[in-house]
Amino acid sequence: MAPPVLVGLSMGSVVFFFVAILATLYLAYRWALPKPLPGIPYDESARNNLLGNLPEMITMLRNTGKTRPFFIEHPQRHQSALTQVWMGPLTKPSLILSDFRESQDILLRRTREFDRGPWNTNAFDGVVPNHHIAMASADPRFKGNRELVRDLMTPNFLHEVSAPQIYEKTMALVDLWSLKSELGGSQPFNARRDIFDAAIDIINAVAFGLEDDQSTVKNQINSLLSKPGFRPTPNADGSVTFPELPTLPNIAAIEEIGLHLGEQFKAPFPKTAHRWQMWTSPTLAKSYARKDQFLYDEIDKAVIRLRKGESGTRSAMDHILQREMNAAEKAGREPVFHSPRIHDELFGYIVAGHDTSSTALSWMVKNIADYPEAQTKLRSALRAAYPEAHAQGRQPSVVDLWKIQVPYLDAVLEESLRCDGPIPVTLREALVDTELLGHKIPKGTAVFLVSDGPDYQCPPIPIQESARSPSSREKRLYGSWDPSDMHLFKPERWLKTDEKGNVVYDAQSGPMMAFSLGPRGCFGRRLAYLETRIVLALLVWNFEFHKLSDSLSSRDSYDTITKNPYQCYVSLTKVT
């Protein structure tokens, strides 16, 4: 039976009707196809697909567990420092920029043209919507939030409050690994969880001043010591396995939410993905409830302590609450300690501070084992920098570690971040119609700034100097890497001889963007450097890290908030 609309029409009219429908559908299809920006390379296959480049990214995610390599490989595929992609159906083109000088220029000098946009904020918006990382710079809340936490990265706070906590928790890790190397006879064991636990112990201590009863590493030590005659389980690959204690409930909740946040970076529509997961995952909802209760309890305890005038400022939370007290007194109002912004700033401080440091340390441990000459040279440099501690057979003090410069320590740390940066892609959005490498860029265009691959670990993709922005041509603050060895792990590339003949560390030796740059760079950058410097120094001071077999030292990675190694095994000998 013919559709009612066709009843009474001639055959010619019916044919015309169907042709019109097909033509309309075809025109709608052509209209919906991605529209490229003129002159910027792209994949023809994506141009002719309603989903753009999304199918390729989904396939990569399914096969490898990561999507960030797509942004590194795409410019190399086209041999162009600027390429365009489409991140889904009916989306405007996004750009991938694989050039340090232009990326640096955008982040440092073109902040009125480029800022954090929805692509940045959407991943965080469901998890910590009231944290400054989830806000554009023009957001009226942003300035107040940054004011709340601005002193947490000052030298005084870092050295007086953060550094002692980092030192104490790192020494717990040293004690744990000393025990494991004794029990396991220097056989390799998986260190990833220990590094994760030590990093969460550190950030919780810095954030809340938590005591040892909330330390996962301390509890692990006590558990091993409580088992006389214990020996780890041998594995077929030559490694051994130590038992892991159940994660403390509050830590487990933080971990699950952190993993959930990492998943948002791989989701095409993060806000929708967050709502769906919250609705379908009872354990995730319970973790949020536990996290909220944990913050309430710790804040309430700190408020009582601060009002009694006890202990002064011993954590980031104390500092934030004291600032709220002072602001309330100045405004003649009651302080609001359980505001969404205080809760989210504290929780974001934990998650971001833990994940970047934990990942960076995992790669550093792998690198010092893989490059024994650099490890030996670093240990010698540390002994020369702290001669009294070495002569007396003791640990360098926390003041020694943050006060005395050790150029080769900084060089090893920076080289590890260059080779294996935790976050190899930074994102910005055009706030106005502008230009990039000679191409017209409309307002609202997302730009992925790549800090891996060309210019960083392999030769740059050539760019005509005339195509660069005027500010990029005028100001060249950084050097460049030697193309013949930039693929190698070589800490010496970060050292130079000053006018007095001293070997010094030069942070501007060449392209580097591990923690982004500029006013919207990583807020916790100084804390991350302080933590990794103290942890790396104490680990190399106490242990020799042996090179492992290929089966235990894979450099493959997966994506969460950061780029994590699948394998992080260590084989240790205590250094005397």
Look at residue 496 and give its three-state secondary structure.
Answer: strand
The helix (run of H) or strand (run of E) holding residue 439 is strand 439-441
- Residue 419 assigned to a binding site: no
DSSP string, 299-367: HHHHHHHHHTT-S---SHHHHHHHHHHHHHHHHTS---TT-HHHHHHHHHHHHHHHHHHHHHHHHHHHH
d(CA 379, CA 266): 39
Residue with tokens 């792998």: 366
Question: For residue 307, what are its two tokens?
Answer: 């009002």
Residues 320-329 as b or e (16 or more Cβ within 10 Å = b):
bbbbbeeeee
Q: What share of the chain is helix, strand, coil (3-state, %, to 5)?
A: 55, 10, 35
Single-letter code of the amino acid located at 171: M
d(CA 547, CA 536): 17
Are 338 and 320 in contact by the 8 Å Cβ rule? The answer is no
Using H for helix, E for strand and C for coil, what is the string for 509-538?
Answer: CCCCCCCCCCCCCCCCHHHHHHHHHHHHHH
Alpha-carbon 165 to chain mean position = 21
Binding positions are 522
Binding positions for heme are 522
